[in-house]
């Protein structure tokens, strides 16, 4: 199988779906200039009718995409940086998420929005947001967050074929990562199904996006200390594969959730609440979250780098939950 980068996986998924279905088309800023390398050869293959540059007006082109989806087209909208979704929140929440419900199922919205998570590279407060947690709370939207090129291709192709709106959050820190990908135009990764990236017996780590690779690195280091870590990659946040997470926690009795978004109301918070509600009896230690503090992201590289989850912070959290002993903690507290 050929080795492909994360961005090459994006390119291949879009190209194959446009080739397969004439109703699929792309729109977004700077598509024909191939600014990030995900549309190489698209204009030559499909023409400018199906590869459409848009003005810098997210509310306008996301609204237009919603209308196109409702009359039978299947748009892929490149929103570029995830923070750019904010000007289009009225269209996204009032129209895109609600129309199928409001029209009693008569309207379909097969619409994909691609949103790059640009944190960690000094793009400062207005361009570094990771807004998927707030959009997880909007009924009618599906949310995917691939952590590697293989899942990037398979999930994006499934999203394009889905009849509901799908938000695809792509961690820009993964763009250059490579792995083998099947050269198969029908290779799909189903939405709503997590994967066990590493099996273990002592603690479950549920990690998102680039934090999956960091968690796997931490798990490899801790294996040398005799700690067996199971790493779960949800891949899809809405719908969330709760059963895979719960099954792992019931086996290990411990949970660490690693999420590059802000701590309050994060995906990590939802996963922690899920486990507390449905697997509390299996827990042998408190659930810990490794997240980003509730602060805007500074431009300064040294300041920014300390905010996000890292291999060392993940390993520290794992050591805490594995070393936690209720009796010792009560004695130290004078209970």
Residues 6+ apart with CB under 8 A from 156: 9, 10, 13, 14, 112, 114, 144, 146, 168
- The arrangement of strands across the sheet holding 288-292 comes to 195-198, 229-233, 203-207, 255-262, 288-292
- Positions marked active-site: 127
Dist CA 170 CA 278 (whole Å): 30
Whether residue 239 is preceded by a cis peptide bond, meaning omega within 30 degrees of 0, is yes
The string of DSSP letters for 122-165 reads S-HHHH----HHHHHTSTT-EEE---SHHHHHHHHHHHHH-SS-
């Amino acid at each position: 199988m050929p080795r492909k980068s994360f961005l090459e996986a994006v390119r291949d998924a879009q190209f194959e779906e446009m080739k397969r279905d004439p109703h699929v088309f792309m729109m977004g800023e700077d598509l024909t200039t191939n600014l990030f390398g995900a549309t190489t050869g698209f204009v030559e293959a499909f023409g400018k009718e199906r590869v459409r540059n848009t003005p810098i007006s997210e509310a306008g082109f996301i609204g237009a995409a919603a209308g196109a989806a409702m009359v039978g087209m299947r748009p892929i909208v490149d929103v570029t940086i995830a923070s750019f979704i904010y000007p289009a929140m009225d269209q996204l929440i009032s129209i895109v998420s609600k129309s199928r419900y409001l029209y009693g199922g008569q309207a379909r919205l097969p619409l994909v929005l691609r949103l790059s998570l640009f944190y960690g590279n000094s793009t400062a407060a207005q361009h570094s947001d990771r807004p998927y947690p707030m959009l997880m709370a909007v009924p009618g939207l599906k949310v995917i967050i691939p952590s590697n090129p293989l899942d990037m291709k398979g999930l994006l192709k499934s999203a394009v074929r889905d009849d509901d709106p799908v938000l695809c959050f792509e961690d820009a820190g993964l763009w250059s990562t490579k792995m083998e990908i099947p050269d198969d135009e029908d290779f799909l990764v189903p939405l709503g199904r997590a994967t066990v990236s590493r099996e273990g017996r002592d603690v479950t780590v549920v990690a998102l996006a680039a934090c999956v690779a960091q968690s796997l690195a931490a798990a490899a280091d801790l294996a040398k200390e005799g700690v067996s870590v199971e790493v779960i990659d949800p891949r899809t946040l809405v719908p969330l594969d709760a059963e895979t997470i719960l099954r792992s926690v019931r086996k290990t009795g411990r949970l660490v959730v690693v999420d590059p978004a802000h701590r309050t109301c994060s995906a990590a918070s939802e996963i922690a609440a899920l486990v507390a509600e449905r697997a509390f009896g299996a827990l042998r230690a408190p659930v810990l979250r490794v997240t980003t503090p509730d602060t805007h992201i500074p431009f300064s590289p040294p300041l920014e780098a300390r905010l996000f989850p890292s291999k060392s912070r993940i390993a520290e959290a794992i050591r805490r939950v594995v070393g936690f002993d209720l009796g010792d903690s009560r004695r130290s507290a004078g209970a």
